[in-house]
Structure 1
Amino acid sequence: MERATDFSSALDSLMEVSADLGFTQVLYAYLPRPARLPNGEWLPLKLNVRNFPTGWESGWDKFMRVDPYYRACFSGTMPLEWSDVQQSPSLSSEQKAACDYLNDFGLSRGITVPVHLPGGRFGVVSAISDRTCGNWASVRETARDPLLWLTHAFTQFVLEHGLEDQIDTVASAALSPREIECLTWASEGKTDADTAVIIGRSVETVRMHMKNAIRKLETCNRAQAVSVATQMGLITSSSR
């Protein structure tokens, strides 16, 4: 990994080492903020993959929030075997459909290792052995501990080299710059009238931007919108 100059080449290295352990596919995902919003909704998890079958991503969007392997990561810190997740009696019909979707592409045998970071940040590696792997039982037995170490080493490398900004994530809400600006001033305790003076617009215009932001964030009022936008990382103290 020390030869890697960016996230893409680091992920190539992760695949190379994972292949040496007997895996045929690997993925890495990262969230720079807590996975769940104050209203309980899960943020979608964008998977950065290597060696996945062609076409797998076209139908995956609808499973990003219900991904059962993603959800299972928040029940502990140790590696998760996919078969255990698939057999869980608590899986919803949507989560079972997500497993079936990956199974149809031959992606049913894997190990997922979560990394829970300070501030609610989250990283995860899943290493998979598809149907071409004839010795899954051996891979599962011998690769579990090395994969745990590898996941933490990879995440540490990404963070220490400042590569996290290069990792593809899913934008949770498309707020306009003006909507973000109005939310930011609201987070500073400013009223709509205060914000109107600060940004040089009418009070009605500020209210319109706030209403749009509340709607896009699927919240009920300005206070909730500010809270959700802050947790999503859409507004910070340096946004203005």
Structure 2
Amino acid sequence: MFRHVSEIETYFAQAGSLAGRIELATQAMAGFGLTSLVYDYTPVKYAHGGELITPSYLSMRNLPRDMASIWCDEGYYQIDPVQQLAFRSSAPFVWCYRSNGRTRLNRFLGDCHAPVIDYVHDSRITSGMTVPVHLPDGACATVTGICQDAADDFEREAGEVLAAFGLFAHVMHEALQRLFDDGQRRSRGVQLTPRERECVRFSADGLSAKAISARIDRAVPTVEMHLKSAARKLGARNRAQLIARAAHYGLLT
């Protein structure tokens, strides 16, 4: 088990690719008594309506093949209670879906989580620990280690290594984030075209459609079309709401 930041940094420096570093992280799970790994990163946690935004980067290792698609494409990510707890917490935590579990998760579970509860029981992945990594710009990553077919004393044993796992997770995230491309750094909540983003940014600076048209060398109706398209995608009813929602999704930078 790793005990120093420098050890973890040296460990991840062995691989120069994102996939390679994920593989190293997966191999390290056994040292914490874990079998599987989930890592996700989202630059914006919540949509303007309050629901969780599907992460821009998600990697699952040693888990059922259909799990990633179910979480991302069928809405399980939005109702995943571990993810919901992670976004509300700044500290690592142990979790358990079993009826005799005594973790924070057990007090949090409700009827809305039933599909996820059924899935994890069917897949025998009912126990694990999660580390939220909240970033200064509002982005968040979570590192989750899962123990398939966990023993009855998993909660106690996991508690003994939780601090070490938390340190590992934070350094792991730093090692991974350095290798993200532009797409992985961009929220999946709303997708604007480059021209739409440009027009919205100029609008946020106080420029009129006429002034924007002069700046980008396009006709005024073309600028208005881009702004209307952006507003439609963001569900904005006016310019103020358009700018506010664009800022929420990090589209003004």
Instruction: Give the Cα–Cα distance (whole angstroms) in 2 for the partners of residues 201 and 166 of structure 1.
Output: 26
Instruction: Give the Cα–Cα distance (whole angstroms) in 1 for the partners of residues 80 and 236 of structure 2.
Output: 23
Distance 1:68 1:118, change over 3 A: same
Counterpart code for 2:189? S
Q: Which residue number in structure 2 is paired with residue 44 of structure 1?
A: 54
Q: Which residue number in structure 2 is paired with residue 58 of structure 1?
A: 69
1:97 paired to 2:108: no
1:198 paired to 2:215: yes
Residue by residue over 1:109-128, the C-alpha shift from the partner in whole angstroms, topping out at 9 and shown as x without a partner, is 11111112212122211000
Instruction: Give the Cα–Cα distance (whole angstroms) in 1 for the partners of residues 229 and 94 of structure 2.
Output: 43
Cα deviation, residue 12, structure 1: 1.1
Q: Which residue number in structure 1 is paired with residue 126 of structure 2?
A: 108
TM-score by length of 2: 0.79
Distance 1:219 1:8, change over 3 A: same
Pick one of 52, 67, 87 that aligns with 2:106: 87
Counterpart code for 2:45? A
Pick one of 4, 7, 17 that aligns with 2:15: 4
Instruction: Give the Cα–Cα distance (whole angstroms) in 1 for the partners of residues 58 and 152 of structure 2.
Output: 26
Instruction: Give the Cα–Cα distance (whole angstroms) in 2 for the partners of residues 196 and 139 of structure 1.
Output: 63
Is the contact made by 1:184 and 1:235 (CA closer than 8 Å) also made in structure 2? yes
Counterpart code for 1:212? S
| Number of aligned positions between the proteins | 231
1:92-171 counterparts in 2 under 5 A? 93=112, 95-131=113-149, 133-134=150-151, 137=154, 139-159=157-177, 162-165=178-181, 168=184, 171=188
Cα deviation, residue 167, structure 1: 8.5
Q: Which residue number in structure 2 is paired with residue 25 of structure 1?
A: 36
Counterpart code for 2:245? V
Instruction: Give the Cα–Cα distance (whole angstroms) in 2 for the partners of residues 29 and 219 of structure 1.
Output: 29
Is the contact made by 2:199 and 2:212 (CA closer than 8 Å) also made in structure 1? yes
Gapped regions of structure 2 (runs ≥ 5): 1-11, 97-102
Q: Which residue number in structure 2 is paired with residue 183 of structure 1?
A: 200
Cα deviation, residue 190, structure 1: 0.8
Distance 1:140 1:90, change over 3 A: closer
Instruction: Give the Cα–Cα distance (whole angstroms) in 1 for the partners of residues 193 and 152 of structure 2.
Output: 51
1:74 paired to 2:91: no
Q: Which residue number in structure 2 is paired with residue 232 of structure 1?
A: 249
Counterpart code for 1:21? F
| Farther off after superposition, 59-68 or 80-89 | 80-89
1:213 paired to 2:230: yes
